[in-house]
Structure 1
Amino acid sequence: MVCGGFSCSKNCLCILNLLYTLVSLLLIGIAAWGIGFGLISSFRVVGVAIAVGIFLFLIALVGLIGAVKHHQVLLFFYMIILLLVFIIQFSVSCACLTLNKDQQSQLLEVGWNNTNSAKQDIERNLNCCGFRNVSEEENCPVMCSKMSHCSPCAPILEEYSGIVLRFVGGIGLFFSFTEILGVWLTYRYRNQKDPRANPSAFL
């Protein structure tokens, strides 16, 4: 039997939103774990990760309630928000996958110059000082700075930036297709009649 009925659409939408709920909780948990173990001390980075996790959780909650109750208004707003998230995420994912080495290097340098706490986290975790020159960092938190044999962070970051961007872009692209699937499922589900409802009721 082809999955096109009311119950099948409802169950698929519920499963998709449960998946989004798990991803949002995982995102919040990883951010909390990173700050708890001292891997990240930047509250801005953690705040952004937690805010994205909470936003995704709220979207999934709206979709889940709308799917369970077959609530037309909630499903409409869920569909519109999910479509906007798809457009943004798809664009960012494609940008991550198409950046060349020079663009990656410029992006890293801009990020490095615009943060202090994350900069110290990077230096501590990678055991390096400064971005391109060791001398440019006066208060380096790592032990190698006291022994005068530190290496700059730029070569290490540039080595892994391509892998990280491809990974982030790939994951983002995968989830963007689940979002467009969610939009299609929601649109289909909104226009289906609940077989248990009053046949004369407008749905």
Structure 2
Amino acid sequence: MKDVHNSEGLAHDPDGSLYDLGVRASMRVFAAGDDTGALEAAAAVRAASQAIDRLRAQGAGGRGLSAGALDVLARLSAADEEEGLSIGELARAAGVSSRNVTGLVDTLERDGLARRVQDRHDRRSVRVRITVAGQDWLAAFRQPTQRAMSAVFQGFTEADLARFRHLCLRLVENQHRIEEYLGAGRPDQPAP
């Protein structure tokens, strides 16, 4: 979806909070006079996510990896070197399908950054481990990424960052609760 925000269309509420003029106008029409706070917040989260993804993709893309493959590689680097992680573990950790992770691991394996190995405890299972080349790739990517994230979060205090992280993860928590509720067979009732 195309980015609906641009920095030229930003303004300040009376309390000093930023908002997007175009998003607010379109959400007022969409909401038909109802409160637009949650809709504007959702649009802002989407725009922020897109901004971070663009930054990450530029850095990783310039080095031949998608943001998804980069996430998998980072998770593998944090795993026990001998054990690695299963495709299912990677999928659950990333919140994506096993099929999606399989494709990402295929890419990492093709590039020599990860490899599949037989599970030592269950010969029917496969684990994925990061290679030395994968560790080297991450080491070269670390400093540019840290500089980019420092720039994008410029002006945020440690408390701001902790609060921002907390609020984003509350959204994830709420979404999981809604999925569980709907999965329990009550789609005709509002989620708690």
TM-score, shorter chain, exceeding 0.5: no
Rg larger for: 1
* Between structures 1 and 2, the one with greater strand share: 2
TM-score (norm. length: structure 2): 0.28
Structure with higher helix content: 1
